[in-house]
């Protein structure tokens, strides 16, 4: 039984402002654009009966931008908007803290606005809460393209309907990388580079790559995983991953899009499969580890990274599959009264016409969850949540 109709929102205000606007053709998605995307998400969530949203607090304009939309007649269908009561550090700790609070609050799904890096941090703390990822990063292999309104509808359906969750979600793979005491989890790629230091984080020069480990590799991806995608594609739900040694002597030369507007010839020495649960050790004696395209730490021979493909990654919402299921089940459509006889006649041959999704006695779970969430708010029993005064909110 799904009990919650609260949906979480993590919108990274810092995504897509990195150095790839200078060294490549990184886009200029502004804070206002992100708020606009969230307006669409909220409309989608409200349309399918989600009655409360718990969003990450930030000091960079997302929270204040959302609050400016509260109370406008055009937004009357929005769920109640609340924010996690959390310290604002303007670091990735804000994302991990907010995600933890959302899990504790029992959200039915989390909508993530960011790139692979943001999703990586959310996934590390989300447990079994389904994630709906909307791309607002520079290079994004993990989030799949979906319009924000549609993504909001999908998130709401997964949160409110157990059958939608069953039909529309899957467990993603991850790559665990261990170096000394440090443990990181990648959603898409782990790269061993010989760049000198962490610097601005991003990886955009494929000539610095020595080894690449991929949980999946799609030919139409952008970023490091495209290197594998053009040589040996690996589907998101395929049980194996891919390990690549780069450099000379090269058996292949591939020309993948490493960044927006940036294609570079890359020499590949060998390819091999990564089997889940079987740990492999990096060959390089020293270098910098990049996780999902972000350089995170240096290592020496005493902390040579060990990489393991795992099948226990985040629960991911397949937006298209969720909406297909909703259409088949007629969760977002109903038969007009004037057409009832014809519809009934038709349904005798094509299956039963479905009840509207908000019907309290259809599957029971949605109505119950709504009441549960309202009671939670009314009683003020959720210490992780605050309903801010728009006039006094930090921005």
User: Where along the sequence are the contacts to another protein (CB under 8 A)?
Assistant: 13-14, 17-19, 21-23, 26, 28, 30-32, 59-61, 64, 90-91, 197-201, 298, 394-395
Could you tell me the smallest distance in angstroms from the CB atom of residue 19 to another protein? 5
User: Which letter does DSSP use for residue 390 in this model?
Assistant: G
Contact 56, 100 (CB under 8 A): no
Contact 43, 152 (CB under 8 A): yes
Please give the C-alpha separations between residue 14 and each of 59, 83, 91, 117, 182, in angstroms, as whole numbers: 11, 18, 9, 11, 25
Q: 190 has which bridge partners?
A: 213, 291
| Residue 69 vs 201, nearer CB to another protein | 201
| Residue 59 vs 247, nearer CB to another protein | 59
Q: What are phi and psi of 217, to 5 degrees?
A: -150, 115
Which residue in the block uniquely carries the two structure tokens 């450099």?
247
Please give the C-alpha separations between residue 322 and each of 317, 329, 382, in angstroms, as whole numbers: 7, 11, 30
| Residue 170 vs 297, nearer CB to another protein | 297
Distance of CA 6 to the CA centre of its chain: 17
| Residue 67 vs 122, nearer CB to another protein | 67
Could you tell me the smallest distance in angstroms from the CB atom of residue 177 to another protein? 18
| Residue 8 vs 26, nearer CB to another protein | 26
What is the spatial distance between Cα 49 and Cα 70, in angstroms, rounded to a whole number? Answer: 17
What is the spatial distance between Cα 76 and Cα 74, in angstroms, rounded to a whole number? Answer: 6
Could you tell me the smallest distance in angstroms from the CB atom of residue 219 to another protein? 29
Could you tell me the smallest distance in angstroms from the CB atom of residue 60 to another protein? 5
Could you tell me the smallest distance in angstroms from the CB atom of residue 300 to another protein? 8
What is the spatial distance between Cα 203 and Cα 227, in angstroms, rounded to a whole number? Answer: 13
| Residue 255 vs 395, nearer CB to another protein | 395
| Residue 302 vs 352, nearer CB to another protein | 302
Could you tell me the smallest distance in angstroms from the CB atom of residue 262 to another protein? 12
Is 298 buried (19+), middle (13-18) or exposed (0-12) by CB count in 10 A? Answer: middle
Half-sphere exposure of 308 (CA within 13 A, CB side): 13
Could you tell me the smallest distance in angstroms from the CB atom of residue 114 to another protein? 14
Contact 30, 113 (CB under 8 A): no
| Residue 101 vs 295, nearer CB to another protein | 295
Could you tell me the smallest distance in angstroms from the CB atom of residue 83 to another protein? 15
């Amino acid at each position: 039984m799904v009990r919650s109709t609260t949906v979480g929102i993590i919108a990274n205000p810092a995504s897509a402002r990195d150095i790839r606007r200078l060294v490549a053709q990184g886009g200029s998605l502004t804070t206002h654009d992100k708020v606009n995307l969230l307006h669409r998400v909220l409309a989608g969530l409200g349309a399918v009966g989600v009655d409360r949203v718990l969003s990450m607090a930030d000091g960079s304009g997302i929270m204040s931008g959302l609050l400016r939309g509260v109370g406008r007649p055009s937004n009357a269908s929005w769920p109640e908007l609340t924010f996690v009561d959390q310290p604002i550090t303007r670091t990735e700790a804000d994302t991990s803290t907010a995600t933890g609070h959302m899990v504790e609050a029992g959200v039915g799904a989390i909508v993530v606005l960011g790139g692979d890096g943001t999703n990586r941090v959310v996934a590390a703390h989300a447990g079994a809460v389904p994630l709906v990822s909307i791309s607002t990063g520079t290079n994004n292999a993990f989030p799949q393209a979906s319009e924000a309104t549609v993504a909001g509808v999908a998130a709401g359906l997964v949160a409110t309907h157990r059958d939608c969750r069953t039909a529309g979600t899957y467990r993603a793979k991850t790559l665990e990388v261990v170096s000394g005491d440090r443990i990181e989890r990648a959603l898409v790629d782990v790269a061993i580079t010989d760049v000198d230091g962490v610097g601005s984080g991003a990886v955009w020069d494929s000539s610095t790559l020595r080894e690449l480990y991929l949980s999946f590799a799609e030919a139409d991806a952008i970023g490091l995983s495209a290197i594998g995608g053009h040589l040996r594609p690996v589907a998101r739900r395929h049980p194996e991953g891919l390990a690549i040694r780069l450099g000379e002597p090269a058996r292949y030369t591939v020309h993948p899009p490493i960044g927006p507007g940036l294609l570079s010839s890359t020499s590949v020495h060998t390819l091999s499969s990564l089997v889940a649960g079987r740990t492999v050790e990096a060959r390089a004696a020293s270098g910098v580890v990049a996780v999902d395209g972000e350089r995170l730490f240096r290592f020496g021979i005493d902390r040579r990274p060990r990489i393991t493909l795992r099948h226990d990654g985040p629960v991911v919402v397949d937006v298209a599959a969720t909406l297909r299921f909703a259409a088949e089940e007629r969760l977002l459509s109903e038969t007009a009264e004037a057409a009832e006889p014809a519809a009934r006649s038709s349904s005798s041959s094509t299956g039963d016409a479905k009840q509207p999704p908000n019907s309290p006695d259809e599957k029971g779970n949605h109505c119950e969850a709504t009441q549960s969430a309202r009671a939670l708010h009314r009683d003020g029993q959720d210490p992780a949540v605050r309903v801010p005064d728009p006039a006094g909110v930090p921005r």
